[in-house]
Amino acid sequence: MSQEKVYVGVDVAKATIACCILKQHFTHANDPAGHLSLIERLGSLGRPVRVICEATGGYERELALALTKAGLEVSVVNPQRVRDFARARGRLAKTDKVDAAILADYGATMQPAMSTPSPQQAALAELISVRQDLIEQRTAEISRREHLRLPVLIEDSEQAQCRLEKRLAAVDKLIDQHIQADEQLAAKAVRLESVVGVGRVTVISLLALMPELGRVDRGQAAALAGVAPFSLDSGQYRGPRHIRGGRGALRRVLYMAAVSASQHNHILKAYYRSLIARGKPAKVALTAVMRKLIIVLNQLLRNPDFVLAG
């Protein structure tokens, strides 16, 4: 029993991390010193440990890296799944201590997959996050300018967009430099770009948002990308299959890649047209191309000998 794994719930905030370890609660600072204190506390248990924390928009990244470097297992989980788990258990209160305890319970019950962040992966994810923010700001600025009438405001909006364009170009350059500086990332980028229809934005998004690509099976790849069909059956009723879940930001990028591939990649173009010819709606056919594409890209990284012409 002494070697039974301990599931540790860690509720991450900007300044602190609330921990539930064997039903005892501790709080550490969310900084290098606080991370070291937690690592030492976990090491003193003398038992295998899995730390469970939620994806909190970035506040969990340094902690996950520190724990991984220390040789500890980490699972960064979807917050919505944890809240659904808590509701199913009838635990509706929400405090740092309660959340940490729920995370520990979730880990022991659901045993989520390990997350294995690396400094290179974390840096790329951060760069991609900044890039997405800049694109959203640029889109908002363009939309706002459509309703402006005063010349001075129009000029100010154009200057703001110009500044955003310059920042976006600088971040794009940093992303390319970061990928080329890492042999594994650079090799993966070359493999992914070999597929017609898969452009630079798709490649950098896949590398940053789906590090599991090439290390999972086809079903897991489709589920992570949010393009796996789920049944809606009850009794004799057979409802239409729908996709849901997965990583929304990645699915949006994959959609644009599928649009391009269905027009220019002769294999996926033929696949798309065959679905249309069988009476499938265009949206359903395009979703199928998205699923086929992520499965192909996953296989491309799993098997060095795999080749997709097109």
pLDDT in tens, 229-286: 766 666 766 667 666 677 788 899 999 999 999 999 999 999 999 999 999 999 999 9
pLDDT at 254: 93
Cα–Cα distance between 257 and 263 in angstroms, integer?
A: 10
Query: How is the chain split into domains, by residue range?
Result: 6-110, 119-181, 200-302
83, 228, 246 from 239: Cα distances, Å: 27, 15, 21
pLDDT at 115: 81
**Average predicted confidence (pLDDT) for the chain:** 90
H or E stretch covering 253: helix 248-264
pTM listed for this prediction: 0.77
Task: At 277, list the tokens.
Answer: 């010819």
Cα–Cα distance between 51 and 132 in angstroms, integer?
A: 29
pLDDT at 237: 64
pLDDT in tens, 107-138: 999 998 888 767 888 889 889 999 999 999 99
* DSSP assigned state of 45: T
pLDDT in tens, 189-208: 999 999 999 999 999 999 99
- The domain defined by 6-110 folds into Nucleotidyltransferase; domain 5 (3.30.420)
3-state secondary structure 131-143: HHHHHHHHHHHHH
